[in-house]
Amino acid sequence: MAPRVPRDVEQEYPTAEVVAKLRRLADALETEKPFRIQIAGERIRVPAHATFSIEHERGDGEEEIEFQLKWKLDDDSDEDEDDSESDDEDSEDSDSGSADDAADKAVV
């Protein structure tokens, strides 16, 4: 397995794609199964035991809500479990330059 490179990406999607991703995520959370998602061209596997949080930020004339899933990079103990459906496909990539710390973060 290739080493994981630090990454901090924000990707915009059409509403229909967001709805589909959220439905698959909700199904995976409800059934306590791992979840696979493709964000800006990279396939990401979210383990079933990932921590889910909702974040709200306000400042500089705008507000933001983020749905976050976090887990430790070495915490893939449920690797052999079935993943929720197939990966999503992206049509456009948008990378930013800063790195994320010790946990993967999938903002869906």
pTM beyond cutoff 0.75: no
- Nearby residues of 64 by Cβ (< 8 Å), 6 or more positions away: 55, 56, 57, 58
Domain boundaries, the chain: 8-107
Per-residue pLDDT tens, the chain, 108 aa: give them. Answer: 667 789 999 989 999 999 999 999 999 999 999 999 998 889 999 999 999 999 999 999 999 999 999 999 876 555 544 544 444 443 333 333 333 333 344 455
CB-facing half-sphere around the CA of 5: CA atoms within 13 A:
7
